[in-house]
Amino acid sequence: MDRLSDYDYHLPEDLIAQTPLEDRAASRLLVIRRDTGAIEHHMFRETPTLLQPGDLLVMNDTRVSAVRLYGVKRSAGAVEALVMQEIEPGLFRALLKPGKRLKLGTEIEFAGRLAARVEADLGDGVKSLRFLEGAAAKARIMELGSTPLPPYIHRDLEDRERYQTVYSRREGSAAAPTAGLHFDAEILERIRERGIHVAMVSLDVGIDTFRPIQTDDLDRHVMHGERYEIPEETAKMIAECRGRVIAVGTTTVRTLETAATGRRIVTSGSGNSTLFIRPGYQFRVVDAMFTNFHLPKTTMLAMLSALVGRETLFGAYRAAVREKYRFLSFGDSMLVV
């Protein structure tokens, strides 16, 4: 039986990166060779030399559009809202705390400058919020809200763009696809000059990012759906790829494998991904991947174990702890190749 406790490891708190590096490409890069299990230590700036002409790099171009707001109920009581996609002008999907006690019709005032009403229960803990400012609400929300950083980051982010990839363009996510945060314009240019192709997909990183797994028996874990979209051009580039298909991040892996109908064949268009990748899974599209270092007991570690093997993966994590790599969203990078 596959258990969540199989994906545990000791993560010293002082290795959790609290701020991003000023230079995106200055992070370290741990490389795992799938064929031998060998571990190498590099700098992320070396990435173009570690890839081969003919490889295809696939990236998730989603953009973090969610913001966090703090307010109070008109009837008293603090409220925290993670405001996500805009449904229509003035109406937004939002994850609210305390969600169960916020009944339909509850009126909330945020930052003393924004008024909203809980309008509907959309399921899975999400409600719709109607802002009384109407079409003007979106700009006010962005002005007053803060970046919804993960709970293990305890410092505010001065520049919101550091929680966006340089190629982000499609709004819809509640969190960044952090494996892509290391790429800058220079790295991408050098990659293309080397004859490495780049393609995009979109997957909206959803509220599961903020929720821990509730059961040790992974057979009972349910992956909630996240919307994805694959352009026709990307599907064509995958089919024609003569090198390796290298995914940037676990969200890109899930997108490609969800849409796979055969070896190197993906269906273009949009859909909903509930795919849970863990040991025993046979990859049909992805040959290699970039990823950050993840929290213990997460589905991301199960995915990586499926790609490289659990023993090899956790040997690499132990090495990363010994070498004092920076962990999690603002931390260093890993390439499984």
115-133 pLDDT, tens digit each = 999 999 988 778 999 999 9
Does residue 168 share a domain with residue 122?
A: no
Does residue 179 share a domain with residue 90?
A: no
62-87 pLDDT, tens digit each = 999 889 999 999 877 899 999 988 89
Longest dimension (CA), the chain: 63
The arithmetic mean of pLDDT across residues 276-301, rounded, is 96
32-44 pLDDT, tens digit each = 999 999 999 999 9
Confirm whether 134 is domain-assigned. Answer: yes
Residue 210, pLDDT above cutoff 70: no
What region, left, alpha or beta, does residue 302 occupy, with left being phi > 0 and alpha being psi -120 to 50 degrees? alpha
List phi, psi (to 5°) of 22: -60, -40
Does residue 72 share a domain with residue 131?
A: yes
Count the domains in the chain: 2
Which of 94, 116, 144 is the last residue before a domain boundary? 144
Does residue 260 share a domain with residue 127?
A: no
The arithmetic mean of pLDDT across residues 218-239, rounded, is 93
Does residue 166 share a domain with residue 122?
A: no
Does residue 231 share a domain with residue 104?
A: no
Does residue 228 share a domain with residue 106?
A: no
Q: How far apart are CA 94 and CA 177, in angstroms?
A: 20
Confirm whether 151 is domain-assigned. Answer: no
Q: How far apart are CA 198 and CA 8, in angstroms?
A: 34
Confirm whether 149 is domain-assigned. Answer: no
Residue 76: which CATH number?
Answer: 2.40.10.240
Q: How far apart are CA 93 and CA 116, in angstroms?
A: 12
88: domain range?
A: 67-144
pTM of full prediction above 0.95: no
Give me 105's structure tokens. 């019709």
Which of 84, 109, 144 is the last residue before a domain boundary? 144
What's the pLDDT at 207?
64
What's the pLDDT at 165?
98
Q: What is the DSSP letter of 66?
A: -
88-116 pLDDT, tens digit each = 999 999 989 887 778 999 999 998 889 99
Residue 209, pLDDT above cutoff 70: no
Does residue 171 share a domain with residue 26?
A: yes
Residue 172: which CATH number?
Answer: 3.40.1780.10
